[in-house]
Chains A and B, each alone.
Chain A
């Protein structure tokens, strides 16, 4: 059984759904990448799983840790999970750190909670963690307040804080956006090492396809509150199957060659409150057919571990190339 299993998780804010049935499993020690359109619900997925959404959100579905339901669980069951079993790195580090506490204290708190460390021991550990994430002069910086640090430094404080609880699963929501590539590399190395040494699972939410592909073994692509494609990271770059995923690849600015105009996916996400009847991506899809506007596609397994939610997606042989013909059978299956 997977360590964390999210089943049919849906979240709505008022009348507009943010998640429309997410299914995702994370195995122990596994690194899963989560990419997708901005606003598609990556952050909400994990906030919902940990019960951190505001009361205005309605959450349905199920989130199991080792088979235990934590969605809507009482506080007593939830608190040891948070930070201890599943730790989360938030997207806006500066706003997510308590402005009136010294960073050392904020990290130390997690140590005290989950590892029973206090006093000098905790302090030494805090310094070690800060060193580990590459904060210079950690001995003195533990006394700094968040507003005295740069954006990237705050982000690293968040990372250190999440690691402090030695979690079994780390959900890192864009953990390196404010870091330059060298430090980013260092952090990613650190995460990989930790994963190898402690068996920590990792969910990496990022827009940086390079980062995700380097760090994760499996990648899930989200669009408009759904997972639209899921595959091992090698395959997703070689065989992007959902048109949205292909769009993402195409939009990446090149690092060499002639500078050309970037190709963004045309159009925009449909408004959550007014989702189209069929495929949510259909209005922007250049391969869309009439059928796409009618059928809401479900994920189709393409290979053993690759699935995509597109009625045009076709199974392929891992070694071979996908055929260019539409398989009627696939289409039929999608309609059920």
Chain B
């Protein structure tokens, strides 16, 4: 945190559950999608958010943007608490915070041409004249690698990657202060990925844009973020410098994750996680990861580890073993670095 200025975004202790009912008469059960997350994003900084599928990343993204109200916890944007969704203050904030959706097809209105949809934030926040808007849209589209003739296309007649770029363009068109990207590049080929990642870093530098970058692509995360947080079952289990986290993962889950990164042209050995995948409707006691953890001990089964800086190098991690509070049950699997 730079001295004097508050963080752009600060989330404290966010939690969110969904009720699901099985059948008409089924008993409602709570699914804890996010279970106590705190994070900060400074101006000009990118926080990468990685983690297992279904661990609550998209939900976190929605919560920090105030699209959904958290059950508990609070979001502070630019020093002020997030106004309730739907209010004028909330709506005004939107020009400063934007989101790139995970599923672009669903996030686009199939009745409107993409050009119109990209221009929409400008229309909504009455930015510029009609001509300026048109110009701006053309510029953004070019920046994300869309061609001028795509302006009049409807979402369903675009390819997956083109749609994704349309969503990115829409999010960038207002030059937001905060950008939350939920899998922004998953459908892009590497060349366009490069284009988009370069674009994002440029904007970040130029506009001091803060970014929450949710992705499964650890290369991209490393490329773009200053810090990375690893989530597991609704909580952050490790946070730190991307290189450090990716090369010397402290948490056993991170270790498994890093080992699974595929490398073009090589076939590598990796840690395949054993045991059942985690179920947010039925959270294990103690450390949520312990049923699948190769090094879990008795403590892990009963005591929930806290996310705190490790004494050795100050890495924030939530693991009894990493903190040396418990001895590993077995020697950790050999992790090769690359």
* Residues of chain A whose beta carbon lies under 8 Å from any beta carbon of chain B: 13, 35-44, 91-95, 134-137, 140, 143-144, 148-153, 155-156, 173-174, 177-186, 188-189, 207-214, 233-234, 237-238, 247-249, 251-256, 259, 261-265, 268-269, 271, 273
Give the Cβ gap from A188 to chain B, nearest Cβ, in Å.
Answer: 8
The verdict on B329 contacting chain A, using a C-beta distance below 8 Å, is no
16 contacts between A and B (CB under 8 A): A35-B189, A38-B187, A136-B279, A152-B54, A174-B160, A177-B186, A178-B53, A180-B216, A182-B257, A207-B188, A213-B262, A213-B263, A251-B190, A254-B219, A262-B195, A268-B145
Contact partners of A43 in chain B: CB under 8 A: 159-160
Contact partners of B273 in chain A: CB under 8 A: 182, 186
A255 and B218 within 8 A (CB): yes
A38→B159 CA distance, assembly (Å): 7
A38→B59 CA distance, assembly (Å): 28
A264 and B195 within 8 A (CB): yes
Q: A39-B161, A136-B54 are in contact. Are A234 and B281 (CB under 8 A)?
A: no
A181→B158 CA distance, assembly (Å): 27
A184 and B193 within 8 A (CB): no
Q: A95-B103, A253-B219, A256-B337 are in contact. List 14 more A-B contacts (CB 8 A).
A: A43-B160, A44-B159, A92-B104, A149-B54, A150-B56, A153-B54, A174-B186, A178-B102, A180-B257, A207-B188, A209-B265, A248-B191, A256-B246, A264-B191
Give the residue name and chain of the B residue nearest to A212 (CB): B264
A234 and B247 within 8 A (CB): no
8 nearest A-B pairs in the assembled complex, by CB-CB distance: A38-B161, A152-B53, A210-B262, A237-B265, A177-B186, A262-B194, A264-B194, A251-B194
B53 and A153 within 8 A (CB): yes
The verdict on B282 contacting chain A, using a C-beta distance below 8 Å, is yes
A247→B26 CA distance, assembly (Å): 54
The verdict on B13 contacting chain A, using a C-beta distance below 8 Å, is no
Contact partners of A251 in chain B: CB under 8 A: 190-191, 193-194
Contact partners of B50 in chain A: CB under 8 A: 180
Give the residue name and chain of the A residue nearest to B162 (CB): A39
A38 and B54 within 8 A (CB): no
A interface footprint on B310-338 (CB within 8 Å = 1, 0 otherwise): 00000000000000000000000000011
Contact partners of A144 in chain B: CB under 8 A: 20
Q: A94-B103, A253-B222, A262-B223 are in contact. Are A38 and B160 (CB under 8 A)?
A: yes
* Residues of chain B whose beta carbon lies under 8 Å from any beta carbon of chain A: 18, 20, 22-23, 26, 29, 31, 50-54, 56, 58-59, 102-106, 145, 147, 149, 157-165, 182-183, 186-195, 197-198, 201, 216-220, 222-223, 243, 246-247, 256-257, 260-267, 270-273, 276-282, 337-338
A253→B246 CA distance, assembly (Å): 14
Checking B193, B264, B276, B277 against A210 with a beta-carbon cut-off of 8 angstroms, the contacting residue is B264
A180 and B219 within 8 A (CB): no
Q: A39-B161, A180-B53, A255-B261 are in contact. Are A248 and B147 (CB under 8 A)?
A: no
